Structure 1
Amino acid sequence: MQVKVFANLREICGGVTVEVKPNGERVIDVLDTMIEMFPDLHDEIFTEDKTLKPFVHVYVNGRNIVHGEGLFSVVKETDQFALFPPVAGG
C-alpha cells in the first residue's frame, strides 16, 4: 500500500510516499508497520496511550478516519492513504 506523508513526516520517512505492507487490514496496522520501518514516527503521531496526537490526521480515499471507525477503519491495498502531522503557522 502506498502511503502519502506530508511536512516533517517526509524527512522521517525519506520521501513523499512510502510503500507499506501491513500485517492486517486496519489503519492501525498500517501505522504500526510504518513505525516498525521508521521508529521516529511514533512520537510524531501517537500519544503515550497509543491514540493519535491532536491535529494528526489520517485520510483514506479523501475521507478523514474520524468520520469512520478511526484507527480500526478497514483499508485495502488500492486505497489512497494519507498521513498529515500537526502543522502550525499563520
Structure 2
Amino acid sequence: MQVKVFANLRQICGGVKVEVLPEGDRVIDVLDKMVEMFPDLQAEIFTAEKELLPFVHVYVNGRNIVHEEGLLTRVKETDQFALFPPVAGG
C-alpha cells in the first residue's frame, strides 16, 4: 500500500510516498507498520495510549477515518491513504 505523508512527516519517512506492507487490513495495521519502519513517527502521530494525537488526520480514499471506524477502518492495497500531522501557522 502506498501512503502519502505531509509536512514534517516527509522528513521522518524520507519522502512524499511510502510503500507499506501491513500485516493486517486496518488503518492501525498500516500505521503500526510505518512506526516499525520509522520509529520517530511514533511520537508524531500516537499518544501513549496508542490513539491518534489531536489534529493528526488519516484519510482513506478522501474520507477522514473519524467519519468511518477510526483506527479500525478497513483498507485495501488499492486505497488512497494519506497521513497529515498537526499543522500550525498563519
**TM-score normalised per structure 2:** 1.00
Deviation at 1:53, TM superposition (A): 0.2
Equivalences, count: 90
Structure 1: runs of 5+ lacking an equivalent: none
4+ long deviations beyond 6 Å: none
% of aligned pairs identical?
81
Q: How does 1:1-90 map to 2 (within 5 A)?
A: 1-90=1-90
Amino acid paired to 2:3 = V
Amino acid paired to 1:53 = L
The CA deviation string for residues 38-90 of structure 1, in whole angstroms up to 9 with x for no partner, is 00000000001000000000000000000000000000000000000000011
Amino acid paired to 1:50 = K
Secondary structure (helix, strand or coil) at the match of 2:3 reads: strand
Secondary structure (helix, strand or coil) at the match of 1:50 reads: coil
In structure 2, distance between residues paired with 1:2 and 1:53: 22
Deviation at 1:18, TM superposition (A): 0.1
- Tell me the C-alpha RMSD between the 2 structures: 0.2
Deviation at 1:31, TM superposition (A): 0.1
Secondary structure (helix, strand or coil) at the match of 1:54 reads: coil
Deviation at 1:5, TM superposition (A): 0.0
**TM-score normalised per structure 1:** 1.00
